[in-house]
Amino acid sequence: MAIDMLYFAWVRESVGIGGERVDPPAEVATVAALLDWLADRSEAHARAFADRAKLRAAIDQAFVPLDAPLGRASEVAIFPPVTGG
């Protein structure tokens, strides 16, 4: 199941890219598990995702908690708490 990852603000700078397409194994069932899986694969991801309390997520452009199931997600975005307005 391929997922388009998107990173914003300091998460984007920390990972070093704005996005990537990944294909996690079926047992990766939540956003948090996806972050664990990505962190295992690269130092930059591990650093960017180290402090989970500072991360927020969206699945297919809707905010979700980090323990949310991925379901049939096609796009997952990881970013800091928002600061608009």
Partner 1 sequence: MIRVVVQPDPIDIAAEFGVLNGLEAGGIATFAGQVRRDDGVEALELEHYPGMTETMLGRLAREAAERWSLSGVTVVHRVGRMVPGEHIVFVAAAAAHRAAALDACAYLIDRLKTDAPFWKREHVGGDARWVAARASDDRAAERWRG
Q: Are 74 and 6 in contact (CB under 8 A)?
A: no
Of the candidate spans 20-28, 29-37, 40-48, 75-83, the one that interacts with partner 1 by CB under 8 A turns out to be 75-83
Site for partner 1, residues 19 to 58, rule: CB under 8 A: 58
Q: How far is the CB of 10 from partner 1 (least distance, A)?
A: 5
Query: How many of the chain's residues bind partner 1 (CB under 8 A)?
Result: 16
- Residue 67 is classified by DSSP as T
Q: How far is the CB of 26 from partner 1 (least distance, A)?
A: 27
- CA pair distance 4, 50, nearest whole angstrom: 21
Out of 27, 53, 61, 72, name the contact with partner 1 by CB under 8 A. Answer: 61
Q: Closer CB to partner 1, residue 25 or residue 84?
A: 84
Q: Which of 10, 36, 19 is nearest to 75 (CA)?
A: 19
Q: Are 49 and 35 in contact (CB under 8 A)?
A: yes
